[in-house]
A and B are shown apart, each in its own frame.
Chain A
Amino acid sequence: MILEEFLKNLKRGKFMIPYCISCSSATWPPSDHCYLCASKTKLRRIEHITGKLVEFTASKDMGSRRIFGVVDIEGVKLIGSIKSLLPYVGMNLNIDACGVLSDGTPFYEFKDSEE
């Protein structure tokens, strides 16, 4: 099952996106079948692909101030922490870290692609 495989890799710090083996579109959130053509999907590791910051703000809900935002990686939009003191919309970002917390919640962290 693609979702289980995705989470297994995420736990090891590997971020992967399922792509359709037929039409090549990204299938997000992960699924065994392509949302467009219903063909099978296969995970592909995303390591050095640069995403763009779509929007960002900062949360204090966990005590300290955390900058977070929506990042677009090849059409897949994720919410994650932004490790930059001066983020801006359109900024190029790479995945710096990702994983799964002890309660099963996934997390994604992004950093400036220039760093």
Chain B
Amino acid sequence: MDKVAIVAYETSKFIKQSDASIFELSCQPCIGIFKRTAIDRSEVDALILSSCCTDQYGSTIVSEMLRLRPRISYRVDNLCNSGTTAITSAFSHISAGLCDCALVVGAEKSNNTSAQKLRWDITRGCFNLPIHWASIFARSHMRNFGTTEEQMAMVSVKNHKNSSKNPTALFNKEVTLQDVMNSRMISEPIKLLDCSSICEGSSALLLVSKKKVKQFTDNPVWIKGIGHRTTCASFSQVATDLVSLQSTRAAAEQAYKMSQTNPKNIDIAELHDAFTIMEILAYEDLFFTQKGEGGKFVYQEKISVNPRGGILGCGHPIGATGIAQTVEIAAQLAGRAGKTQVKGCKTGLVHNMAAAGSSSSVIILGT
């Protein structure tokens, strides 16, 4: 299996909405990559678009708009878990020798409401918004382990502090513990500032085979391990365990094994904090801490968690999120993260998931 490196990346500024089409939005970070790398566009032999948009033939339209003629071109939709799924697709094509240079782009318009409710799942009845299942997880964690609303609020405080330094984030303003605790209660115990915001944005990565790396950089970031798991789609199945993200646990075990590393070696991580409770669950299910200890783990400083501001601080352009998370970790490991740079990080982890944790991805990167 050929090694695969990330050699270039770009994330557009996340915003509430604009008049740009999903295709124009997709092109923006790719054009940034072309300008930075001076790559000959004929070398791009795969373009994978991550988006929950329903516009037909999206990846091929984006390919034409970028004047690419890739061997492989398609769109990936795996709800909020689309971005890392697209990266794994590109990784697989390169490591199998089907291509050498893959552009992976994630993009989402905020008016794409089809990605915000899983209509097939009639299990959820009229409590069918993501905040409903998130508040069930939160209540269950509080009941079983004594996790507090303040601990959850601290996730939001931390991530908004980080996003205040990130020029591409939707939110550039810090929030205090009181701000979060006093924000509007939506579904107990989850308040407005415990929630991420759906927004518009795009992000792209250039993945290449080992033989191509030298052409781009002497300082590549390698994909060391990948883990995925889909346990189900319905909340009925998820609800067999309301204090764990079972798909995350399985994906993490696979990624640690493939990368021959363990949670103690992780210096930096982007976790799927669509709601504050989800970051607390992720601490436990990525094995950063013991089950039940996630609430206390928010105060630790050994692992830098969500240095770009996470989904809470950056916003959630659904198909772009997993790409933007990976861009941040790649930039951190390459020492090019600008104002959000964490010193001395060598191994990083990306955690991306969908629909109440019914599917998860974990990617481990290293220098």
**A76-B236, A78-B236 known; A29-B123 Cβ under 8 A:** yes
Stretch touching chain A among B62-70, B127-135, B159-167, B286-294: B127-135
Which A residues between 56 and 115 are near B, CB-CB below 8 angstroms? Answer: 56-61, 68-70, 72, 76-80, 89, 101, 105-108
- Please give, as numbers and ranges, the residues of chain B lying within 8 Å of A78 by CB-CB distance: 123, 125, 236
Return the contact of A29 from the options B120, B131, B139, B187 (Cβ within 8 A). B120
B186/A80 in contact, CB under 8 A: no
Instruction: Give me the interface of B with A, judged by CB distance under 8 Å.
Output: 120-129, 131-133, 135-136, 138-140, 143, 185-189, 234-237, 239-240, 242
A61/B239 in contact, CB under 8 A: no
Instruction: Give me the interface of A with B, judged by CB distance under 8 Å.
Output: 7, 28-30, 54-61, 68-70, 72, 76-80, 89, 101, 105-108
Q: Which residue of A lies closest to B124 (CB)?
A: A79
**A54-B239, A55-B242 known; A79-B188 Cβ under 8 A:** no
- Please give, as numbers and ranges, the residues of chain A lying within 8 Å of B122 by CB-CB distance: 7, 29-30, 106
B128/A28 in contact, CB under 8 A: no
CB of B192, distance to nearest CB on chain A (Å): 11
- Please give, as numbers and ranges, the residues of chain A lying within 8 Å of B186 by CB-CB distance: 59-61
CB of B157, distance to nearest CB on chain A (Å): 23
Q: How many A-B residue pairs have CB under 8 A?
A: 86
- Please give, as numbers and ranges, the residues of chain B lying within 8 Å of A28 by CB-CB distance: 123, 234, 236
A57/B125 in contact, CB under 8 A: no
Q: Which residue of A lies closest to B138 (CB)?
A: A57
CB of B196, distance to nearest CB on chain A (Å): 16
Q: Which residue of B lies closest to A56 (CB)?
A: B139
CB of B123, distance to nearest CB on chain A (Å): 6
**A28-B234, A89-B143 known; A69-B136 Cβ under 8 A:** yes
B120/A80 in contact, CB under 8 A: no
CB of A64, distance to nearest CB on chain B (Å): 13
Return the contact of B128 from the options A7, A76, A105 (Cβ within 8 A). A105
A79/B129 in contact, CB under 8 A: no
What are some 29 contacts across the A-B interface (CB < 8 A)? A7-B122, A28-B236, A29-B123, A54-B239, A54-B242, A55-B140, A57-B187, A57-B189, A58-B188, A59-B131, A59-B132, A59-B135, A59-B187, A59-B188, A60-B185, A61-B129, A61-B187, A68-B132, A70-B136, A70-B239, A72-B239, A76-B236, A77-B236, A79-B136, A89-B143, A101-B126, A105-B126, A105-B128, A108-B125
A72 to B123 alpha-carbon distance, docked (Å): 11
A29/B132 in contact, CB under 8 A: no
A94 to B131 alpha-carbon distance, docked (Å): 25
Interface centre among A28, A29, A79, A108 (most CB of B within 10 A): A79
Return the 6 tightest CB-CB contacts between A and B, nearest first: A59-B187, A77-B239, A77-B236, A107-B126, A57-B139, A79-B127
CB of B109, distance to nearest CB on chain A (Å): 22
B123/A79 in contact, CB under 8 A: yes
A55 to B188 alpha-carbon distance, docked (Å): 12
- Please give, as numbers and ranges, the residues of chain A lying within 8 Å of B127 by CB-CB distance: 59, 68, 79-80
- Please give, as numbers and ranges, the residues of chain A lying within 8 Å of B121 by CB-CB distance: 29
A55/B125 in contact, CB under 8 A: no
- Please give, as numbers and ranges, the residues of chain B lying within 8 Å of A101 by CB-CB distance: 126
